Amino acid sequence: MSRCVALVACVMIFIMSVACLVWAEELPPDVSNWVNLVREKLGGATITCAFCPHPTTDAMQAMVDEFTKLTGIRVRWDIIEEGYLRQKLLIEHQAKTAVYDVLLIDAFNMAEYAPSGVAIDLKPLLENTELTPSWFDYEDILPAYRDGIGKYQGVIYGIPVAGETRYVGYRKDLFEKYGQKPPETMDEFLNLAKFFKGKEEGLYGIAMRGQKGIHFGSGWMTVMYQLGGQFLDQKTWKVLVNDPKTVASLEYYVELLKQGPPDIGVYTHEEAVSAFTSGKTAMWFDSTALTPWIIDPTKSQIADRVGFVPPPAGPAGAYGALAGWNVGISSDIDEKRKEAAWAFIVWMTSRYNAKKYVENGGTPVRRSVYEDPELVAKNWTFPIQLASLERANNLVQAGISWIPPHPKYMKVLEVVGDYGSAVLAGQMTAKEALDKAQVEVEKIMAE
């Protein structure tokens, strides 16, 4: 009986090996060679991914069976709620449990993870030509993402897997009807918002984030850098909240929001996009990640009448927002697990598999994807998103991170967002509000 079992097992192993070889033979030679090397060296290893519910997670889970069949590396998933994921990774690292191999890292948390040593520097792996084949093509990742969200103080802690910038959506039918052109400058943007407010019954000029706290602060950041404002000096961490340019940027943002619907003071990104897609506003300025809602005729009343343009330029420059997610590797695991984790990252995030990743619901981060004719045909906004990302990269090139890389930044953003909301409500002037905010933020930074 035992001989029969052993014979069956041998046959099954032989069949699986043949199937894997046949699959490998269908791959391009350079991809097949890498797969064979990985399977020979790391086949049988098991890695665990600490991710949150996200389109990246869905896309990679859809691709993981192929990866395992080709390489022999098994993959476990621990899907953790987004807010808890940050805390969980820090706790596991402090305890040195080494339970996780591949980490999904929010760019907002990079400034906290890097100094804590949660993730390793990926540069040695990227430079190892045996582990990282040419078809991975790190340089194909857009510079704005590669340098803006994947690095902390010049060190590569993550490979970008999902990113977003912000751009202006506008009603083409209204602009054509009234002989207006999409905004190219911040002055034009504000003037257009004023022009369209009340132009027709129930019509307003703009929809953006105005809710007290972080949402207000995030919306304000959308226009702040172009106007020369900053909350923190990113070299010295000096507080710049009541700097004249930052005050002027708040005055601009409040004036802009006043051209929106009367309830704009409670808007998050969801209410803002809803106001725009329902036809209440002529313009909208927010995340490219929200584009599918706007161009989906089942969700948007203006899907066939909408256009997009890159962020308007201001006196300080033509800049844009930048946020997103990376995959990195835990610093608590041994070398073999690090190599297995890296093989997973190479396969999932390579240029070779980039189109498949996006087709499975992943968010594009590579130039080759944004320029792929088939994908552009499915989402005509790709070229405009690409132009917007180039403006986001201008900020990176100027040495400024759109999300200041400091672990206390979220506290800062909440404080300035609270005071900004008070200005919108007419409770104080921008100068009065930011003089008070300056004191509070200085205390936060000194703690």
Q: What is the pLDDT of residues 167-200, one digit of tens each?
A: 999 999 999 999 999 999 999 999 999 999 999 9
At 112 the pLDDT is 82
Q: For residue 140, give every residue at least 6 positions away whose Cβ sits within 8 Å of its Cβ, in sequence order, or none.
A: 351, 354, 366, 367, 368
Q: Give the global pTM.
A: 0.81
Q: Which CATH architecture has domain 166-319+408-446?
A: 3-Layer(aba) Sandwich (3.40)
What pLDDT score does 361 carry?
87
CA nearest to 319, candidates 392, 259, 270: 392
Bridge partners (DSSP) of residue 166 are: 287
Helix (H) or strand (E) holding 33: helix 29-42
pLDDT of residue 9: 40
- What is the reported pLDDT for 217? 96
Please enumerate in sequence order all residues whose Cβ is within 8 A of that of 21, keeping only pairs 6 or more positions apart, or say none: none
Per CATH, the homologous superfamily of domain 10-163+323-378 is Periplasmic binding protein-like II (3.40.190.10)
- Kind of pairing between the strands at 102-106 and 46-51: parallel
Please determine whether the domains at 10-163+323-378 and 166-319+408-446 fall in the same fold group of CATH. Answer: yes
CA 143 to chain centre: 13
Distance of CA 209 to the CA centre of its chain: 18
How do the domains of the chain map onto residue ranges?
10-163+323-378, 166-319+408-446
Q: How far is CA 388 from CA 17, 321, 334, in A?
A: 47, 9, 40
Do the Cβ atoms of 290 and 163 come closer than 8 Å?
Answer: no
Q: Which residues of the chain have pLDDT under 70?
A: 1-25
> Residue 154: how many CB atoms within 10 A of its CB?
7
Taking a C-beta distance cutoff of 8 angstroms, is the pair 22, 320 a contact? Answer: no
Kindly report the number of other CB atoms within 10 A of residue 268's CB atom: 18
Question: How many other C-beta atoms are found inside a 10 Å radius of the C-beta of residue 211?
Answer: 20
